Amino acid sequence: MTYLPALPPLPTPQAAATEPLPALLPTSPELWVVGDVHGALTKLKRLLWQAGLTNPQGQWQGGKAHVVFLGDYIDRGEDGVGTVRLIRTLQRQAHSTGGRVDALLGNHEAMLLAALRFAARDPQDNLKFFQFWTRNGGDTQELACFEPSDLAWMRRCPAMLRVGPWLLQHADSLMYLHYGQRVGDVNAAVAELLQSDDPESWHNLLALFTTRMAFQGEKGQYKAQQLLDTYQATRLVHGHTPVGSMFKWPPSMPSAPQWYAGKLCLNVDSGMTYTLGGFIVRLSVQEIAQVVSLDEW
């Protein structure tokens, strides 16, 4: 019989309310994407500083740059709470200088929110949400450090964004098609689900969010094109599956962003927590403009 530890309460829906994002954000000359961080706060700070987006203390100095974090800020690494707090701080600071920082929902944030959503009504964890989160790297000691505002912030994270020609999402998956045929509809549907008390809806979300490598193999390019056509974009950028794992690179090989599926998809999950290095990527209109890496970390 499982009894859950004392968990911080989720904020009320009113506390988590936010205005909807526009369906299409303009492309910035300084558009940066950051794959899964998983609490690798020290590396993240170093990468942002090397890219000129922050100073050595982690304060925004990116001017009008646009940075998009692709989800999975927590679990497995040294400091998931600190990672969330850093991104939240950068969002405020960037806004004040004409820049922009967006943060997408990752499956690890969704797992944590599910565990918290049902903790009070399912203290024995019969629904297995808490078990699912802890078996995937969830840290109950770190959980106690999250403030209600951190959890409200997670619930406000959109599922996907379209920035110019780029479709940005966490997972290399077709799961988003289950929630709508337009970016705004997907974000609205997922936001509504994150306030739902229906366990089946949550189970379905988490099951879909664990799928990966949808754009690999013989039909991968066709599936990628289907997704891009639906959301009116021309290139897909995602995290979720570390590049080295996807392409079966040896552990000694430096991680780097990788095009695939006929150059429709770009994987930017550097495996920051699992490898010696890590990277972040600046995008131009259709290409990789710059890679900042820590291969000699």
Alpha-helical regions (H) of 35-79: 41-50
Q: For residue 16, what pLDDT is reported?
A: 41
Instruction: Render 117-164 in DSSP notation, one character per residue.
Output: HTTTT-TT-TT-HHHHHHHTT--HHHHTT--HHHHHHHHH--SEEEET
Q: For residue 297, what pLDDT is reported?
A: 42
Q: Any idea where the domains of the chain sit in the sequence? A: 28-293
Long-range CB pairs of 195-199, under 8 A, 24+ apart, other chains included:
195/13, 195/16, 195/155, 197/117, 197/121, 199/118, 199/127, 199/129
What Å distances lie between residue 33 and 183, 206, 238, CA to CA?
18, 24, 9
The predicted-structure confidence for 260-281, as pLDDT tens digits, reads as follows 999 999 999 999 988 778 999 9
| The dihedral sign for the CA sequence 214, 215, 217, 222 | positive
Q: For residue 246, what pLDDT is reported?
A: 93
Residue type at position 40: A
The predicted-structure confidence for 42-78, as pLDDT tens digits, reads as follows 999 999 999 999 999 899 999 999 999 999 999 988 9
What is the CATH T-level fold of the domain 28-293, as seen in this structure? Purple Acid Phosphatase; chain A, domain 2 (3.60.21)
Q: For residue 9, what pLDDT is reported?
A: 60
Residue 198 CB neighbours (<10 A): 9
The predicted-structure confidence for 230-264, as pLDDT tens digits, reads as follows 999 999 999 999 999 899 888 777 789 999 999 99
Residue 119 tokens, joined? 């903790």
As averages over each run of 10 residues, the pLDDT of the chain (297 residues) reads 55 51 74 97 96 95 97 94 98 96 97 94 92 92 92 97 96 98 97 96 97 96 98 97 90 85 97 87 94 76
